A = this chain, B = another copy of it.
Amino acid sequence: MNCIVVSIGDELLIGQTINTNAGWMGKELNKIGVEVTEVLTISDKGDAIKSALDYASVRASIVLLTGGLGPTKDDITKKVFADYFNVPLVENKEALEHVENFFKRYKRPMLPINRLQALVPKECTMLLNKVGTAPGMWMEKNNTVFVSMPGVPYEMKYLMEYEVFPRVIERFNLPVIVHKTMMTLGLGESYIAEEIRDIENNLPEHVKIAYLPSPGLVKLRLTARGEQKNILEETIDHLFDQIEAKVSAEVYAREEVSVEEVLGTKLLEKGCTISTAESCTTGALAARIASVSGASRYFIGSTVAYANNVKKTLLGVTDNTLSTQGAVSQECVEQMALGAQKMFGTDYAIATSGIAGPTGGSEEKPIGTVWIGIATPHGVVSERYQMGKIRDRVVEKTILTALGKMLSFMK
């Protein structure tokens, strides 16, 4: 069972609004076994909408349109939609009552253009939009279902959840699809691919694998199609076991969850606290750790020691270390970690010091050189990394590597 999503709106094409609706729809439709095979993002011009309807009608069983249903002149989807089915727009009693009540409730005067919101194509199934004034519209033609919805994300989501999904499930005989994602740290996509080549070459027909890389992190997604959910899940779990036995990357979860969330859960379980001492990550590591809801139970604080003097006075890095080894060195990062551990009174403290670029590199310590140190209850450990040349990515990789390293102490 496949679906084409048609996202309507010039603001999407000129990049003023990012099309998050289509992603959400794809994710939610997948969960009920409907595959989104294409997303067409088009202008809110009549001929663009008409041509997208023609295109999608012969390629999909379900066509979902969002956008262009507002009360103003530039919103023409409804008119084009009705024309496409050769039916007139008629006032829907239930929709009109709802619009009237909507304005009564918010004590705002109802303007003539607002009344137009209650018009829907004749013979359509009107989908009542309880969180807005523009109703959804469900039509069928040659066994294809067409639904037009507003583009406002929470209105679209309301209609999908309460009106569209139940009808789609009732109307179609849906297959079962299971997706599972394995989260890995520390190795690039091609290394992982090399390590699990045999597994990948022998995947069952009904299972697909995808590599989703971002700086410092690769997600491996397995997708299985079939009839029985539990069997598909078992198949994937078994493959995940095989993959995990092969990859030398750090596998930190078998669901889509961030490292900081997993780390937070572990710290809570063990009743441990954490702090950071940051140079090249300049507070971004602390912000990442603290972004997890409830982090105040284990995250105590951080010192961003950008200037060397701060490393000395606040964290206790010695003059000798700074003058003989420099700030980007094993000694410095270990002293920083121990300094933060003591100052914040935490069980663990992570320290970072590196050259994020774009300037500041040398032959011995090129841009991207990063030392990460972790003070633990059993002493301090540290390691040197090469994180590439691009400032943002150096910071992002340093954060993920530090969190991954920290996680390894929680086992």
Contacts and interface: CB of A to CB of B under 8 A. Distances in A.
Q: Which 4 A-B pairs have the closest CB atoms?
A: A283-B283, A15-B27, A283-B286, A282-B290
Nearest to A294: B359
* Size category of the binding interface on chain A: 35 or more
Interface of A: 10-20, 22-28, 30, 35-43, 48, 55, 70-74, 106-107, 111, 113-114, 131, 152, 154, 179, 181, 189-191, 193-194, 200, 208-213, 219, 221, 223, 256, 276, 278, 281-287, 289-291, 293-296, 299-307, 309-310, 314, 343-345, 358-359, 386, 388, 390-391, 393, 395
Contact of A284 (B114, B211, B283): B283
A13 B36 contact: yes
A314 B131 CA distance: 38
A333 to B, nearest CB: 16
A37 B19 contact: no
A14 B36 contact: yes
A14 B37 CA distance: 9
A189 B71 contact: yes
Given A152-B213, A221-B16, A343 B314 contact: yes
Contacts of A314: 301, 343
Contacts of A345: 309
Contacts of A212: 11, 16-17
Nearest to A43: B37
A193 B112 CA distance: 12
B293 A286 contact: no
Nearest to A107: B386
28 contacts: A12-B23, A12-B39, A15-B30, A19-B22, A22-B41, A37-B43, A38-B40, A38-B41, A40-B40, A70-B190, A72-B190, A72-B211, A73-B193, A74-B208, A74-B210, A113-B193, A278-B283, A282-B291, A283-B302, A284-B284, A291-B391, A300-B310, A301-B303, A301-B305, A302-B302, A302-B304, A303-B304, A307-B344
